Structure 1
Amino acid sequence: MSNNVKDMSLAPEGIKKIEWVQKHMPVLEHIKKEFQETKPFEGVTIASCLHLEPKTINLGLTLQEGGAEVAMTGCNPLSTQDDATAAGASLGLNMYGWRGETNEEYYENLNKVLDHEPDIIIDDGADMIFLVHKERRDLMDKIIGACEETTTGIHRLKAMHADKALEFPVMAVNDSYMKYLFDNRYGTGQSTFDSIMGSTNVLIAGKTLVVCGYGWCGRGVAMRAAGLGANVIVTEIDPIRALEARMDGYRVMKIREAVKEADMIITVTGNIDVVSGDDFKYMKDGCIMANSGHFNVEINKQDLQKISKTTKLLKPDIEEFTTEDGRKLYLLADGRLVNLAGERGQGHPAEIMDMSFAMQSLSAKYLLENKLDVGVYKTLDETDIDVAKLKLNAMKIDIDSLTERQVAYLKNWDEGT
């Protein structure tokens, strides 16, 4: 075992946090017990590039119980929790990363994980997968495949495959029902406001709040904003999603018009320059901006700096920009993923990541047991159903099943009403 973490003395506090989330991750604990008995990953090395926090460490421990050697690093320099990494290292995981890494250190840690010569990669944003294809091609023959956690990573990998640049199969875990219906919607929705309200202590009720993007993450953010009493405006480029947002009761308009009314703006698109250029010139004094997309490219900080005469760091995750005309605009968490990079960011609730990481662990097992051609694959519907059943059972919820007569009726096309 090797590691490169900030402070091993933090391990006891990290272990307490891991024990807490384990109590709220019953599906993953069920899978962990299965893995202890069957050891599906015996002799296998699994490398991960994920947000390093207690729930993710629990995923690493689950894979470890299945027999894997696990090496982990962070997918965002500001989302790592140093007590969690220390705890992971003390529990036998190979840990590399600390909060506040430079860009150079970030890639050094990615390479240190890859030095373990993984058979399987579990990625969040696809940085590790890209690094293998671009710079660590010495590992290509050994890698069986990868699992990708987030929407942004899936977009990048599908584009890569379309260009015939992808060289091993990837499970699009983000595209599974048990991931995007719950993690993206309920997880992002709650954790975004947990972080924003914890950092700013501002009231959401009564504010005009602009949500940029109405995918599953945007739906969750808009839903929680409305529930907190905000007047929600949605911006979109997809006509169907825009129509859905309107039918859900939100105002829909172009970004340039929306920013004029905004007290707060939250981007959740996965794309670049969502708020940029002259958008900042139309914002009201006091507007707060935050990003819940994976990369810090949605709010163009360079464009904001160009129209600002001064900048000031009010708190570790609140930056104040004073424009030439005297307005004060605020950017949270350096424009990075606010629900994890924010000072108070804890990421998605444990009950949500329970399902997402169950899908990750079972998808890694599927990769190992099935020889797949190069491509980006959706997880099996059967896996979604199995995880859903386990979650319902943990919640002590019983549901109905079809009778034999009902099954026959659905299969018989000519039976009358």
Structure 2
Amino acid sequence: MRLLEVLGEGHRLLKPALWRMGTVMRAPQLFTCLSGCRSSLLTRSKNSTNVPPKLDVALCLAPFLSHLLTAIAQLLHIQIALMMRHLPGTSSKRTLREAVTSVSRTSNRRSLDEEKLKLLNKVLMETLGALGAQCRWAACNIYSTLNEVAAALAENGFPVFAWKGESEDDFWWCIDRCVNVEGWQPNMILDDGGDLTHWIYKKYPNMFKKIKGIVEESVTGVHRLYQLSKAGKLCVPAMNVNDSVTKQKFDNLYCCRESILDGLKRTTDMMFGGKQVVVCGYGEVGKGCCAALKAMGSIVYVTEIDPICALQACMDGFRLVKLNEVIRQVDIVITCTGNKNVVTRELLDRMKNSCIVCNMGHSNTEIDVASLRTPELTWERVRSQVDHVIWPDGKRIVLLAEGRLLNLSCSTVPTFVLSITATTQALALIELYNAPEGRYKQDVYLLPKKMDEYVASLHLPTFDAHLTELTDEQAKYLGLNKNGPFKPNYYRCLGLPIK
């Protein structure tokens, strides 16, 4: 038996053990990281005409994996120490942990989390754990997991079901293993995209009898929740974090303004000056992408369906077009809509040679990637997350991350911005869990503005910023409390890119 087959068989048997350790590695990951025991396995294979006993393989691999996870976790702690100064929401003197613990603890909260597994999310998990919650984690994107983070969380006792480069089947398998565990019942859901919520509704609807609420941070996940609410099928309260000011303004706008350039540089090594780029959608994500590319000297076009956002794009100096008007001339196509079939096969056929196509919106729905998997087209893997799709006449397009989120799959995400989002999510979970009965019905709610402002205030000391305080006379004149909230709950600031 070849080594890879041995490792594959050992991996199948090791799954239960790895679940208990908290993370899972499949045969390719095992093959690349098992250098420490490779020689012994090869020796076993050569000296025996029979397949090594299944149990023997599992026992051979298990100790090494245990040491490997510990070693990776130790290395990660050094990275986290460097990162913590950019996480004021969870690591400053006025930490969320300290502030919330002084008020209440969530000692009985059991949280299911489905998000991108980056360094910041490890800190979020540990913060929720410090507040008394029991957490289980699965990834929201098949490429967004950092394996070292999964290993470090597992080493610290958190059950994690995620690894970088999952297949579609792996993705749903991980969610199911995260949810379906004997003797464990979640009472809160933290979701990013709505897949975890969807899976529980589909497979385990009885779980909602004990679930107190859902916190959702993505536009697509929120859209799904509103659909459930409209149909009368939403059976627990849900908190719409995506439309909170701290999420819209900082995560969607400022984060994407930086990560779009990082993702494109890492995958293509391209120069932006003079390139023609079309950005589909001028919401907060689109605004951030357009501002970054314009600053780098790119010629930027915008497509929009909303006349208000379209007018903003025009006022910010971008030319508003229909996608089919510029598709033959642009060098880069970026989708930022949260919709489906924004870039269709017809448009892909009309793109010029070497056009780069990527998605900053949601999941893999915006670009019709399925239409490219046909016999007449050839796929060529150039590097990790970069594919050339080649037409019969030799034309090729450069598809990044197979149409999935570029910044989650191919770049790092600024930790400071994620600290804002993670703090908002933690407060939303605590608010729903501790809310008295009757405060929230089976509907979708926005985060109270007071909490938005509190999250922002936790991050101001990073800049040595000093807030001006209202006098009693000024507060009375404006009809406000001196300590806020300073905006009504319906307020949602418009993200205007900085020129």
TM over 0.5: yes
- Corresponding position of 1:383: 451
Distance 1:21 1:294, change over 3 A: farther
Q: Does 1:65 align with 2:130?
A: yes
The yes-or-no answer on 1:3 pairing with 2:22 is yes
Supply the AA of the counterpart residue of 2:86. H
- CA drift at 1:157: 1.1
Which of 280, 283, 303 pairs up with 1:235?
A: 303
Deviation, 1:15, is 2.4
Say if 2:86 is the partner of 1:24.
Answer: yes
C-alpha distance 337-321 of structure 1, shift in aligned 2 (>3 A): same
- 1:246 matched to which residue of 2? 314
| 5+ residue gaps, structure 1 | 413-417
Within 5 Å, which residues of 2 pair with 1:1-400? Answer: 2-6=21-25, 8=69, 9-29=71-91, 30-35=95-100, 40-114=105-179, 115=181, 116-306=184-374, 309-342=377-410, 345-346=411-412, 348-370=413-435, 371=437, 372-400=440-468
Distance in 1 of aligned mates of 2:303 and 2:392: 27
Aligned amino acid, residue 96 of structure 2: I
TM-score (structure 1 length as normaliser)? 0.94
Three-state SS of the structure 2 residue aligned to 1:140 is helix
Are the equivalent residues in 2 in contact too, given 1:178–1:359 (CA < 8 A)?
A: yes
Does the 8 Å CA contact 1:126/1:153 hold for their aligned counterparts?
yes
Shift of 1:164: 1.4
SS of equivalent to 1:77: coil
Whole-Å Cα distance in 1 between the matches of residues 215 and 105 of structure 2?
A: 16
- How big is the shift at 1:191? 1.1
Distance 1:335 1:304 in 2: 11
Q: Secondary structure at the match of 1:175?
A: coil
- Distance apart, 1:93 and its partner CA: 1.6
The Cα shift of 1:411 comes to 4.7
What amino acid does structure 1 have at the position aligned with 2:235?
E
Cα distance change, pair 94–305 in 1 and its aligned pair in 2 (3 A): closer
Deviation at 1:408, TM superposition (A): 3.5
Identity of aligned residues (%): 31
Structure 1 residue 2: Cα displacement: 4.9
Which one is further off, 173-182 or 98-107? 98-107
Describe the SS at the equivalent of 1:174.
Answer: coil
Contact 1:275 1:299 in 2 (8 A): yes
- One-letter amino acid matched to 1:75: C
Residue in structure 2 matched with residue 415 of structure 1 by the alignment? none
For normalisation by structure 2, the TM-score amounts to 0.79
> 3-state DSSP class of the match of 2:333?
strand
Q: What is the CA distance between 1:166 and its match in structure 2? A: 1.3
Greater displacement, 30-39 / 179-188: 30-39
2:377, 2:422 → 1: CA distance? 45
Determine the C-alpha separation between the residues in 1 that align with 2:102 and 2:136. Answer: 22
Is the 8 Å Cα contact of residues 27 and 394 (structure 1) preserved in structure 2? no
Paired positions, count: 409
The one-letter code matched in structure 1 to 2:84 is Q
Residue pair 1:235, 1:258 contacting (<8 A) in 2 also: no
Taking a change above 3 Å as real, the CA distance of residues 410 and 42 of structure 1, as seen in their structure-2 partners, is closer
Partner SS, residue 77 of structure 2? helix
Mean Cα displacement is larger for which, 401-410 or 365-374? 401-410
Report if the CA contact (8 A) 1:14-1:83 is conserved: yes
How far apart are the structure 2 equivalents of 1:139 and 1:297?
28
In structure 1, distance between residues paired with 2:307 and 2:375: 32
* Per-residue deviation, 1:306: 4.6
Deviation at 1:307, TM superposition (A): 9.2
Secondary structure in structure 2 of the residue aligned to 1:296: coil
Moved over 6 A (4+): none
Q: Is the 1:39–1:67 Cα contact (8 Å) retained in structure 2?
A: no
Tell me the CA shift for residue 297 of structure 1. Answer: 1.3
Shift of 1:170: 0.9
| 1:39 Cα deviation after fit | 5.6
- Aligned counterparts of 2:254 and 2:286: Cα–Cα separation in 1: 10
In structure 2, what is the Cα distance between the partners aligned to 1:70 and 1:23? 24
Counterparts of 2:472 and 2:22, CA distance in 1: 56
Give, in angstroms, the shift of residue 126 of structure 1: 0.7
Q: Distance in 2 between matches of 1:70 and 1:364?
A: 12
User: Could you tell me which amino acid in structure 2 is paired with residue 270 of structure 1?
Assistant: G
- The answer to whether the Cα contact below 8 Å between 1:18 and 1:57 also exists between their aligned partners in 2 is no
C-alpha distance in structure 2 between counterparts of 1:307 and 1:274, whole Å: 23
Q: In 2, distance between residues paired with 1:39 and 1:61?
A: 17
Secondary structure of 2:377's aligned partner: strand
